[in-house]
Amino acid sequence: MPLPIVYSPDHVAPLPEGHRFPMAKFGKVYEWLVRDGVATLDQFQLSQPATVEQVTLAHDPAYVRAYLDGALDARAMRRIGFPWSERLARRTMSALGSTLVTVELALQHGLACSTAGGTHHAFREFGSGFCIFNDLAVAARWAQQRGLAHRVLIVDLDVHQGDGTASILHDDADLVTFSMHCDANFPFHKQQSDYDVSLPVGMDDDAYLAELAKWLPDLLTQVRPDLVLYDAGVDPHIDDALGKLALTDAGLLHRDRYVLEQCVRRGVPVATVIGGGYSKDIDALARRHTLVHRAASEAFKLA
């Protein structure tokens, strides 16, 4: 069986012209995976939208209902950064559902990838930073509730701290958060993850990979997770519009290979989400996001 990859056409929703969030990248990730021969059509698993009951495992029910009904006030929507629409609400539930399907497939096969996800800035009662509901927190709670995994480790290598995830899961010792991020970047008021690694502006491939190697093996040994959720944000890239680090494509690919192989060689199932990445060159950005799928295709042979 080839590497399972989860996709939905509902991962894309229209935004106003000129909006700085690169929504089109989600469709382009799918296109480039096929075009570059990274994946064949029969590898893709179609997701189902998440349910309200699943989302409320990590979010306040009143907030969930208000967002889905389009009843949040203007201030709350500004904090999220998107205008409300029915299509965007559907897209939000679809992307979160894709993360849940990815978790199920990872637990069955050892490794699986989504083509969306990584909405780590959403808090229990509000959204923030282009994140409406927190798929990582929901997925961790959902896997735990269903008895699929007792201890879950979230490895968040997006350039921005996973502040919402840290806040939501702060009181659960079995849902462990690790965030390695640029210190002088959003969010400027950080939360406390179980493990935070703050990086200086301009860090390059070699320094970044050396820092990751200081942490990840020991973390996997100490936590002994039943499942890893890996946020493979590409915004540490040197060309990212919101990044402030200096990784190259080769550095990101090395990073993803390292994370996935460390997990797979220990027999720990790992589910990946694509996380953040910002550029006006949507094709280049989408291909950059496929690096994690390329690395996963290699690591899957070890699973």
Spatial CB neighbours of 43, under 8 Å, sequence gap ≥ 6: 2, 3, 4, 5
Ordered DSSP codes for 105-121 = HHHHHSEEEESS---TT
Q: 250, exposed or middle or buried, with CB in 10 Å at 0-12, 13-18, 19+?
A: exposed
Q: How far apart are CA 157 and CA 172, in angstroms?
A: 21
Token couple for 46: 């179609």
pLDDT per residue, tens digit, the chain (303 aa), is 899 999 999 999 999 999 999 999 999 999 999 999 999 999 999 999 999 999 999 999 999 999 999 999 999 999 999 999 999 999 999 999 999 999 999 999 999 999 999 999 999 999 999 999 999 999 999 999 999 999 999 999 999 999 999 999 999 999 999 999 999 999 989 999 999 999 999 999 999 999 999 999 999 999 999 999 999 999 999 999 999 999 999 999 999 999 999 999 999 999 999 999 999 999 999 999 999 999 999 999 887
Q: Which two tokens stand for residue 242?
A: 């919101």
Give the span between the Cα atoms of 56 and 53, in whole angstroms. 5
pLDDT tens digit sequence for 261-293: 999 999 999 999 999 999 999 999 999 999 999
Of the CA atoms within 13 Å of residue 103, those in its CB half-sphere come to 31
Alpha-carbon distance 140 to 49, whole Å?
17
- Block residue for tokens 């389009």: 70
Q: Tens of pLDDT along 18-43?
A: 999 999 999 999 999 999 999 999 99
Domain boundaries, the chain: 5-302
In words, the CATH class of domain 5-302 is alpha beta
Burial of 9 (0-12, 13-18, 19+ CB in 10 A): exposed
Q: Residue 200, preceding bond cis, omega within 30 degrees?
A: no
Cβ–Cβ under 8 Å, residues 153 and 220: yes
CB 181 within 8 A of CB 205: no
Q: Count CB atoms within 10 A of the CB of residue 266.
A: 14
Alpha-carbon distance 291 to 294, whole Å? Answer: 5
Distinct helix (H) and strand (E) counts, the chain: 11, 8
